[in-house]
A and B are shown apart, each in its own frame.
Chain A
């Protein structure tokens, strides 16, 4: 097992390198560069000034030199400085945005799991019942409704009309003066709408997945055996069927690891939450290469680890799949 993990880890290196080469090339192929914001259509800029700024960022060198430089710094875990006008360390920019994005994504994943799994199981057990159809409509509604629109409606209702919840942001303006308990409550109040919106859109995938797995499992011989033994339906479903149906969910969880640091631009924009989605979007728009690469590398590493984790967990959970050393 350990040997297997070690082998997988070693194999990750070329994959990761490949990802960075492709990302770097594709990124550079997009028209425009980080100096555009400063120089384009600016009457105060002449050719010489533009070249000066390009040289400052090392953009006057051939692309392979730029990549080699970036890679060398990366090997020492130096993400470099952002090309955006703020000139900040990329690692700082990412670090200040990751906590809120992680918090929202973990909470929403938790909400999705607690709602989608029961929905999936029950609609499989009561296939074609009213409940099955109703939940199908419900989860697909969540999937189909544009999140920014629903978000605005909820803000009008709970923020402006009823004044139960704050409208945007993730903490109050007087946050610094609150006690710890009040702080937690304050953030919780701010997160109700964002977490609801982001979970609502994600229900469909997992619940449908769960439903089809469950249908598959219920047809198996051992379920018939369990029923023939005279076990009550609850034990059959939750103890024998569901545990097996849950196996593929591990894969999904593994794959959602990189998603935990990825935010949604639209959603963060509507709620004015400074998360990773906005950071990445702005970096792309500004052609802020070091930040783009920083986010991509972290994402790539997490994806690879997520995959590995899923495979390992899977073999631990399912005796039929054992890794042969």
Chain B
């Protein structure tokens, strides 16, 4: 039984060791044989082909056909394999991808695309407008289980004019139409006359993009190799491996052990755990606003929230700067409208409600909320101002935000309860049934500014997205105008006005926009952050010859 005693002893040592190991700089630079020596001369940093990047992902991809996928893990992969007709460039402007150019008719009803000649699929077959036609057809096919049919269902007619020219004709002018053609174009010669949900391409995709599929081990890794004949030129990095590591703490350890080159950090990891000299030498951190925001939505059918002034008062009572500092450790920005603050569509001149508990209290009193019975909680018509915030399980940032809001509102005499509910039950029994007072949730911010589904007065029936029942005919009109106007400057005017009204009405208290916090091994060069993020020119990332770590054999 000595082995047991030994284990005992090991265990004790271990606990002590582990307790110390979280101290900063636990791993001095240079101790690790894998760490890179800094390059000597500038010419050693020239772009070179080769090496592999290993990225960490908490979830496995589900399916590698963009028409069927709905999870970000799948899109991370398909984004490198397929191209759309158009794409967003680094400044979030639409530019040609598989299409070199396009023409929009004067009545804004017809878009004609001119494909790039000479593009070949990874299997060697040429790309033609037949592929575009097939892609359109598969999206609108009622038997295709896709989440992205709506935009394509607006196409009245799709015509192939010649192998490199095709056009889509719309019933009504629809501004987001052009952007909808950024969906990945699928190879018709491999998919035509097949049930797409049974196609082998779901797991072994063939596209036109900079990387071609090599290997997928479920739950383990997905490997892509560079496509040397890519129409924008051969990507520098020869191989992209995505490792699936569902636990962020484990992923971070793999990063520390040098077996990962890129991952997304949590605010805590970003500000407290990667600030060591070793990390600074071996990794580079990036920080930019993500395309999503978090909000507190009020059920406007509830009598307490029907007054605009009450909602403004609640926003005034919530310390949003404090939430960004406390919950996000400063890695984010306060939101004031449903648009991303650093983009073209954002209107910085809307009415804002800075944190001011005294003023909030006063505003509530003006609306008839007074603490008549002296219990510290405001009341009106004999009813206390008390409500429940619901949010979904598994998101600590939202949970902590709710706790701060609870404390903030208590200070002005509003009692808040918090209820955290499992996602499916949360949606089905509470959000869809409008069975809530206030909800803490987030929206992704689409690159296109159209937000009809969230704010339109008519989108309030069960399962529709205006679940707070916001109704404002002026907003309806502005959103409609915005969606049918192609001219960017003119379109922006409508959305500017829309944001002013939303900010005034405060149907949501817009809380914050979180930062994306990627960390990437410092051997990768050529990464240029831009408004859209960092991965828009992934094919230009490179590792100088002297720093290359892996040799990749095809």
The chain A residues found within 8 Å of chain B, CB to CB, are: 30-32, 35-47, 49-50, 52-53, 56-57, 81, 84-88, 93, 96-97, 115, 118-119, 122, 131, 134-135, 138, 141, 148, 152-157, 159-161, 163, 166-171, 173, 268-274, 278, 285, 287
A53 to chain B, nearest CB (A): 5
In the assembled complex, B368 has its CB within 8 A of some CB on chain A: no
In the complex the two chains form, what is the Cα distance from A45 to B464 in whole Å? 9
Across the interface, A115 reaches (CB within 8 A) one of B4, B26, B147, namely B4
Residues of B contacting A: mostly:
mixed
Q: Which of A38, A119, A135 contacts B145 (CB 8 A)?
A: A38
Contact yes or no, A32 B147, CB < 8 A: no
Q: Mark B416-439, 1 if CB is under 8 A from A, else 0.
A: 000000011101110100000000
Give the chain A neighbours of B246 by CB distance below 8 A.
268-269, 272, 278
Q: How many residues of B contact A (CB 8 A)?
A: 68
Distance A155 CA – B427 CA, assembled complex (angstroms): 38
Separation in Å of the A37 CB from the closest CB of chain B?
Answer: 6
Tell yes or no: B62 within 8 A of A by CB: yes
By a CB distance below 8 angstroms, the chain B residues around A31 are: 424-425, 427-429
Question: Do B142 and A167 have beta carbons less than 8 Å apart?
Answer: no
Contact partner, B253, options A43, A119, A167, A287, Cβ 8 Å: A167
Q: In the complex, what residues of A have CB within 8 A of residue B243's CB? A: 169, 173, 272
B433, chain A: closest CB distance, angstroms:
10
Tell me, yes or no, whether B194 is within 8 Å of chain A by CB: no
Question: Closest 10 A-B residue pairs measured CB to CB?
Answer: A274-B219, A32-B424, A153-B18, A31-B428, A43-B453, A85-B62, A87-B197, A272-B245, A269-B246, A31-B425
18 of the cross-chain contacts (CB-CB < 8 Å) are A32-B428, A52-B142, A56-B145, A57-B145, A85-B63, A86-B63, A87-B197, A88-B202, A134-B5, A154-B14, A157-B17, A160-B256, A160-B257, A167-B259, A169-B243, A272-B243, A274-B217, A287-B424
CA distance A41 to B431 in the complex (A): 10
Interface string of B1-28 (1 = CB under 8 A from A): 1001101100100110110010000110
Expressed in whole angstroms, the minimum distance between the Cβ of B257 and any Cβ of chain A is: 5
Chain B residues proximal to chain A, CB less than 8 Å: 1, 4-5, 7-8, 11, 14-15, 17-18, 21, 26-27, 54, 60, 62-63, 68-71, 74, 142-143, 145-151, 197-198, 202-203, 217-221, 241, 243-247, 249-250, 253-254, 256-257, 259, 423-425, 427-429, 431, 441, 446, 451, 453-454, 463-465
Q: Are the C-beta atoms of A138 and B147 separated by less than 8 Å?
A: no
Evaluate contact between B218 and A96: CB separation under 8 angstroms: yes
Q: Would you call B250 and A167 a contact (CB within 8 A)?
A: yes
When the two chains form their complex, are residues B1 and A131 in contact, meaning their CB atoms are under 8 A apart? yes
Q: How far is the CB of A134 from chain B (nearest CB, A)?
A: 7
Given A37-B71, A56-B145, A122 and B1 touching (CB < 8 A)? yes
